[in-house]
Structure 1
C-alpha cells in the first residue's frame, strides 16, 4: 500500500511514519517501476505497535531492541508500569499541593511560605529526586546554556576580526599528517564564528529531536554537545592562527586537548547527576 493508505490504516500522520522509517524501525519495499514506497501489512502492524509503545513512554532505542528480540516485552512493560506508578504518585502528590495552594485567594512568589504546605521539607525533596537531581546537575553547567555559547561566539568573532588584516591571502583549512593539505582565502577565518551560529540555530533542533527519543536529558545533552562543537570550532580557529604564527605545528594537539576537555566536563556532569539529590550543592 502507498504512504497515503498507510496513513489511513494506522491513523497516524505521514511525519510519524517517515520518522519511524528514518530510525530504521520500518523499512518498506520500493516499487521497481516508480520507486515509491510500498507498505506491507506487516509494516502497518509494526507502525501501530511502535506508535502504541511510544504512547506508553517507551523510547525509540528501547523499541528497537524489542523488535530485535534483545529485550523481553513482558519484562519491559512491567518495568514501565512501575515507572508510571511512581510518576502517578508524584503527580497526585503535586496535585494535592496545588489544590491546597489554590484555596488561597491569591498567591505571590515572594509571599510563598513553603512550610505552610509541606511539613517535612527533607521528605518532600526525597520524594522528588528526579527533578531535583536534574536541577542540581544543571547537566554540565560548565557548558550548557546560551551564556557559554555567546562567550564562545564572541571569542571566535573577535579572533577572526582582529586577526583578519594580519593574515596572508591564503590560510590553511585542512591538515593531513601534520601538514597543510588545503587552503582558502583569508575570509575563511570568519567561517568559524559562522559555524557557531549554524550549530546553535540549525543543528541544535535536529540534535535535540534525536536525543529526545533516546534520553530524558535531551535539553541538557543538546546544550552540552552544541556548545562543545562550538568550542571545537573555536579551537580549530585558534590553532589556525597559532599555526600561521609558527607557535604550533601539529593539529593532533588540538584534537587531544578537545577530547580531554570533553571527557573531563562529561565526567564532572555525570558525577554531579549521580550525587545524592539533597546536598550542599543544591541547598
Structure 2
C-alpha cells in the first residue's frame, strides 16, 4: 500500500476534526485557546489517532466512527508533551522544530494549556457517539483514562524521572516505556477496535500488537536521540545521555536495541495475521515505526 498517501489522508482528516473541536482564540480566554492550539498544531505525525483509525478499519469499522476518540487521544498526548517539556521535568527548548509551549507562553499558561487539553479530551470521550453502543463507548473511555493516568503514562513518567542518573536494568527500561509511551499506543488500538465492533479474541490480538509496536516505537525514538539529526527531528538530540535517562541504547547498546526493535516488529506482524488484508495499514505503520528517521 501507499503508506505516505494513507498517512496524509488520515492526518488531514484528524487535523480538520481537531480544528473543529478545539476552542477558537477569539473565545475568551483567547491566550489559553491560542496556547492549546499552538501545541496541538505544531506538526505532529498523529500516530496515535491514525493507529486508532487503522485498528477500527482492521475489524470492519469506518474512520468517521472514531474521530471523537481519536481527537481526544491526541489532546491527551499533546498535554503530556507540554508538561514533559517543562523545566520541572525535561526542560526542553524545542518540540517538533518550534519553541516549546512554556518558552512561548510562560510556564503557568503552558501548565494550564495542558490541563485544559486533558479536560477537553474527556468532553469528547463522554459525548454520545452516534451509532456506537454505549457500553463500547464506556469501555473505550475507561481504557483511555487508565492508559493516561497512574496505571499508564503517568506511571511511566514517574519511573522515568526516578531512574534518571541511576544504573538500571532492562526490566526497568521496559516498565518505563511500556507505560510512558506504550500505554497510549496500545489503547489507540484497543479503543479503535472496540469502536469498530471487535470481539474479545480480536481485542486481545490488537492489544498485544499495540504493546509490541509501542515498545518498538520507543526503541526507535531512543536510537534517534543517539543517531538522529536535530534538523530532521525538530528537537534537541543527545539529551537522553546527557541527563542519564534510562534508554534501550544505554542498557543494550545500539546494535542489540536495533535487533530488539526488529524482533518486536516481527512479533507484531504475526499478531495481525487473523485480520487479513484489512490490517494492511497497521502492517505498514509497524514497519514505518522502526524505519523512521524523524
TM-score normalized with structure 2 length? 0.28
Q: 1 or 2, which has the higher helix percentage?
A: 2
Q: 1 or 2, which has the higher strand percentage?
A: 1
TM-score normalized with structure 1 length? 0.29
- Greater relative contact order (Cα < 8 A, sep 6+): 2
